[in-house]
Amino acid sequence: MSDRPIVILLPYLSCSGLELFGLRFAQDLLARGIPAVVAAPDDSLIAGQCYDRKIPRWEFPETKKYEPWSFPACSKMFLELEPRAVIAFRTQMMYPIHYARLRTGKRVPFFLFYRIGAGNYYRNDPIHRRLFRYLSAVVPNADHVKNKICKYWAIDSEKVVCIKSGVDTRRYRPDPALRSSLRKEIGIGEGDFLIGSTGRIHPEKGSEILLRALFASDGAAAGRKDVHLLYVGREYEPGYIDHLNSVAAQLGVAQQFHIIPFRNDIETVYSALDLFAFAVTSHETYAYVTLEAMASGVVPVVPHIGGMKEMYTDGVEGWFFEHRNTESLKKVLTKALTSSKKELVAMGGLARQRIVEKASWKAMMETYLDLFRRCGVDQV
């Protein structure tokens, strides 16, 4: 097999769900014997993850939007790595990639795994028409986004291929031992009701909204000492976690509010939860963390918006609430908190069953590899 790699382009300092998906994708390719390289900045959280996961990395400067240095960096990447394919996750990388193709004369297959935004922007001008002509495929992970792209972008609909995200159901699964371990770590009992949320601890992820929806005087868990809330992740800027702790203290639930930093063994966290809640206010297109929770047998509560409404059936594997509607969120949380343990366990079992049947990582990867073959990527 050729040693020319598939390059996963992640030129960011952060390491959110998008980047973690790219890292997992690279790991899977390597496990299959397919050379893969992550292109990321030296001083990034991604670089640290590459080191921990033993993923080869090529230094690429941080690129937030349209920084000019990304153009020569892409050309250098084409010449030095001679990739068999390049994968990017944000549309702005189309410009330096196309420049590199023209500059080096190397017609490298290029895939856009579209994860940022919902495809709402019009991209039907002559420049984008040309760029899309040389794009092998754009791959959203929700039908909602695929439909928007086909409507607003000047791209051949056959190049828009929706591949729903998958989860490693061997890693993410119910585990009583992990449940007890995490609960002991944060100091709560087996009989306590633990609600959790993972990912960036950020205002637009609804961190404070969920806290108040539970524990304010009119909240779903007002007066209940057995209900705890756990956040796992990195704060979006220094001081925000202090702010949340201050809010919890004001609400009189400082001992029921827990925050632990990002961890690689995130499956340990899901096993300990009774409910996964995601009060995001932004127009999230798909929430990978919700799939992880479901695979772990945890009932999800997320807003009914975008691609998230494709994840499960309301009242069967989880519950939806109206986006940006705190009263609707409280109502759903109250329903969950008043359900019996038997009902929640049964619903969590259906949530896992749905992931096993419709969103396994193995099946997802086979679909991606089939797409690569159809688009002329060598030896995959």
Residue type, 328: S
pLDDT at 378: 87
pLDDT of residue 65: 86
Is residue 67 within 8 A of residue 37, CB to CB? The reply is no
Evaluate whether 83 touches 91 at the Cβ level (below 8 Å).
Answer: no
Domain 176-358, architecture per CATH: 3-Layer(aba) Sandwich (3.40)
pLDDT, tens only, 299-358: 999 999 988 999 999 999 999 999 999 999 999 999 999 999 999 999 999 999 999 999
> What is the Cα–Cα distance from 74 to 96, expressed in whole angstroms?
6
pLDDT score for 116: 73
Task: Report whether pLDDT(137) > 90.
Answer: yes
CA distance 320 to 277: 10
Per-position b or e across 93-108, b if 16+ CB within 10 A of its CB: bbebbbbbbebbeeeb
Same fold, 6-166+360-374 and 176-358: yes
Tell me what pLDDT residue 354 has: 97
Share of residues in the chain with pLDDT > 70 (%): 99
Q: What is the pLDDT of residues 49-90, one digit of tens each?
A: 999 999 999 999 999 888 999 999 999 999 999 999 999 999
Closest CA to 326 of 246, 223, 210: 210
Name, in order, each residue with C-beta under 8 angstroms of 35's C-beta and a sequence gap of 6 or more. 1, 2, 3, 4, 5, 6, 29, 56, 84
For the entire predicted model, the pTM comes to 0.91
pLDDT at 1 over 70: no
Please report the pLDDT score of residue 306 as a whole number.
Answer: 87
Domain ranges of the chain: 6-166+360-374, 176-358
CB-based contact 196:289 (threshold 8 Å): no
* Domain 6-166+360-374 homologous superfamily, CATH: Glycogen Phosphorylase B; (3.40.50.2000)
What is the per-residue pLDDT across 327-344, written as a single tens digit (0 to 9) for each?
999 999 999 999 999 999
